[in-house]
Amino acid sequence: MSIEKITHIEPLDSYFFNFLAWIRCFLPSIVLVLSVSMAPAKANTIVLSLTTGDDYPPFTGRELPQGGMASTLVINAFEKSGYVVKEIEWLPWKRGYTLAQRGQYHATFPYGWTAEREESFYFSDPFFPTLNYAWSRSGQSNTLTNEEDLQGTVYCNPRGYGNFGQIKELMDRNLLRRETPNSMLHCFRMLLQKRVDFVAATPNDAMKALLQAEISPEEVQRSGFVITEIPLHVIVSKQRPRALEIIDAFNKGLKILRENGRYEALKEEFNWVE
């Protein structure tokens, strides 16, 4: 007796309807798994986009470790308050300032306080005070030995840098004239060309500019007095939603960094002395 093997073949449309039934059953679970896996680690984390300018050692610079001492401080301070800095975009100083002023970035840094800037921005607590000196040509006739010697002279400060302290007072009284090239390097070249009487700069700014311009440090001299002391700040446009919350978050984080020693450690890492 032979046994005939019978193979039962399901119609194609049967497979199709079974597949649809399976999808209807398990799709909610698939969507849930995907949504959980793609969700951010912390739903309440605030993500920031910042901007700053290049070539301001040791505070900011594309080639500096972690973008510079100020960039590192700003990122660390916001992190301590639960904020995440998603990006720091490098822009020319004037353009970055203008876009931040319009509220296109959450904040920008590092800036000194001026009354003009305060009209548009909220300022954070100060950090890393900078000391500016007057740099003149070695052996020039009008030596700068005190603040009175600055009167009636022409000084150089790059575009985007503010006038502060004694410099601003003299400018307001028309006792000092300013030249404004694109960079500190150009300022020192103008100094040696006798187009200006002095350059206002921190020691770090001056030494880097001299190196870039291939000028020997012996060709310039530093004033024995500080012409301006400028604390730096994070600034947030008053047009920006929740601007004061951003300032408060940075201030709280900065306080933590001062208390836990990270603030002083950063200065050592970048070999910076106030």
Cβ-proximal residues to 112 (8 Å cutoff; 6+ apart), any chain: 130, 162, 164, 230, 231, 232, 233
Query: Are residues 104 and 193 part of one domain?
Result: no
Query: Are residues 221 and 168 part of one domain?
Result: yes
Query: Are residues 193 and 57 part of one domain?
Result: no
Q: Is residue 2 part of a domain?
A: no
Query: Are residues 99 and 68 part of one domain?
Result: yes
Q: Is residue 222 part of a domain?
A: yes
What's the pLDDT at 42?
53
Contact 160, 97 (CB under 8 A): yes
Structure tokens at 223: 């004033």
d(CA 237, CA 244): 9
Q: CA quadruple 198, 201, 202, 203: dihedral positive or negative?
A: negative
What's the pLDDT at 274?
64
Query: Are residues 226 and 140 part of one domain?
Result: yes
Query: Are residues 120 and 56 part of one domain?
Result: yes
What's the pLDDT at 31?
30
Q: Is residue 23 part of a domain?
A: no
What's the pLDDT at 169?
93
Q: Is residue 5 part of a domain?
A: no
Q: Is residue 21 part of a domain?
A: no
Query: Are residues 91 and 171 part of one domain?
Result: no
What is the identity of the amino acid at 72? T
What's the pLDDT at 1?
36
Query: Are residues 236 and 109 part of one domain?
Result: yes
Task: State the residue range of the domain holding 182.
Answer: 130-230
Query: Are residues 213 and 243 part of one domain?
Result: no
Averaged pLDDT, groups of 10, the chain, 274 residues long:
34 42 38 31 76 91 94 97 95 95 98 94 97 93 86 93 90 96 94 96 90 94 92 97 97 98 95 76
Q: Is residue 164 part of a domain?
A: yes
Q: Is residue 66 part of a domain?
A: yes
Direct distance between the N- and C-terminal alpha carbons of the chain, in angstroms, rounded to an integer: 106
Query: Are residues 99 and 177 part of one domain?
Result: no
> pTM of this prediction?
0.74
> Which of 128, 122, 95 lies closest to 110, judged by CA?
128
Query: Are residues 122 and 74 part of one domain?
Result: yes
Query: Are residues 69 and 138 part of one domain?
Result: no
Q: Is residue 54 part of a domain?
A: yes
CATH number (domain holding residue 65): 3.40.190.10
Per the structure, the count of domains in the chain is 2
